[in-house]
Structure 1
Amino acid sequence: MAKDLSTQVWHGIPRKEIPWYPTITAEKCIGCELCYISCGREVFEYNETIRKATVERNYNCMVGCSTCSTVCPTEAITFPGRDLIWKFEKEYKIFKEVRKEGKEKREKKKILEERAKAEAALAKLTTRIKFELAGQFGEKGLPKILKEMIANRPFDVINFQMQVPTMKGADEGAPCYSSFEIVSTEQKDISEFASEVRNLIKDKGIVLVSETKL
């Protein structure tokens, strides 16, 4: 379904109050379809019966645009003179509105740029890592040590899981599986803390199955 842009406002002026749109001289139109293809605002349709372009949504035309006329090889498309636009600019004193729109556009651009910078900086940080381990955990007090390591620091251990074959087996030193994630609680880099966790795993003789940056 074709879009209807006729209800839009041009710098404070209702679009339908501005008679700026193309007119096609049918006798000159050779049906090349260049206007139909070039216009991104669906002003034109192509009539396959008569093999000519027709203007179907004239108020979809962007005020001041005349691209279709410029590219037409037979000069079949015409527009009102530019003085029509200048007349509306003066009568409606649009430049107060234009300055307001310009300020809003700059502010929006600045926000997007700052967001992009923040996202780029965050992407460089390691703020979450998942560890998967295998070994004997019970007697080595891994959960307790991890809890002590994060005390009063901007880190946390989440999604801690431990799988044991049997409770007796765990007490008897049977291998177990554990997984957990370390995260930053302040969106700060956790590379140094991750190094501490790796050293703990190594010192306790636990097998590091995998380490994944999330």
Structure 2
Amino acid sequence: MSGDKKTWHGIPRDEIPWKPAVDAEACIGCQLCYVTCGRGVYEIEGGVAVPVAAMECVVGCSTCANVCPTGAISFPALDTVWKVEREHQIFRSVKKEALAKHERDDAQKMRATVAAASAAAAAVPTRAQVEVAGEFGDKRFLVRLEELIADQPFDIVNLRLEVPTVKGARQKAPSFMSFEVTSEKQEAVAPFLDRITALVHDAGLVLVTAKPVS
């Protein structure tokens, strides 16, 4: 049916003689029709299936009759449906309905694709934690780090430098630096970490950790 349950492709449902009939003597009350039908056509009364909402039956559907173990359910001949289709020339209406359905399906697929892409993007780490140890005094490490990110869509945030003492730093005592690399365009940070790692090693420092964080 289209739109609501009272019409079938624009034809009033009560003008279409498609409904089930139950042979009460043949019915064994197995209730298979009751649980199979998704339109609430049947109720079980006195151990027998009764089509209490026969006009809710989907036009052309005969699943309940096909699965009935005793053949207790019957439907009109399909000729009755074909006759209605010819008389009402429903195929112009069907084409319009099909076009609208295609548009809905395409929109739904597009929404699903966008949602999947968004979920995938959200799963890609765009930040990383880096920890470096060593002597920073004359390495120009911060200057070189700044030069490295100058033309890249990444920035360095939350930078901390821990030194044992100011004099110790001047005397080239080992120090500890930590910072975060963050993407300015929500791009994956992992490939850029390779360049950070190369810079640390080239500066003669020790890379303690360099790992993406969610």
Q: Aligned with 1:175: secondary structure?
A: strand
Q: Which residue of 2 aligns with 1:57?
A: 53
Q: Residues 77 and 92 (structure 1 numbering): CA distance in 2 closer, same or farther, change over 3 Å?
A: same
Change in CA separation of 1:181 and 1:56 when aligned onto 2, cut-off 3 Å? farther
Count of residue correspondences: 198
| Residue 202 to residue 80, structure 1, CA distance change in 2 (3 Å) | farther
Contact 1:22–1:77 under 8 Å retained in 2: yes
Find the counterpart in structure 1 of residue 207 from structure 2: 207
Residue 6 of structure 1 and its aligned partner are, at CA, apart by 5.9
CA contact (8 A) 2:128 2:189 kept: no
Counterpart residue number, 1:42: 40
Matched, 1:81 2:80: no
Of 105-114 and 194-203, deviating more is 105-114
CA RMSD of aligned residues (A): 4.3
Q: Does 1:177 align with 2:178?
A: yes
TM-score (norm 2): 0.66
Q: 1:58 to 1:37 in 2, by over 3 A?
A: same
Q: Which amino acid aligns with 1:97?
A: S
Once the two structures are superposed, the pairs formed by residues 17-166 of structure 1 within 5 Å of their partners are 17-47=15-45, 50-107=46-103, 112=109, 116=113, 128-135=125-132, 140-141=141-142, 144-145=146-147, 147-150=149-152, 155-157=153-155, 160-163=157-160
Letter in 2 for 1:162: L
Q: 1:9 & 1:213 partners in 2: Cα distance?
A: 56
Asked if structure 2 preserves the Cα contact closer than 8 Å seen for 1:43 and 1:58, the reply is: yes
State the identity as a percent. Answer: 32
Range with greater deviation from structure 2 (137-146 or 32-41): 137-146
Tell me by how many angstroms 1:41 deviates: 3.0
More deviation, 90-99/55-64: 55-64
Contact 1:131 1:179 in 2 (8 A): yes
**One-letter amino acid of the counterpart of residue 75, structure 1:** G
Which runs of 5 or more residues in structure 2 are unaligned?
Answer: none
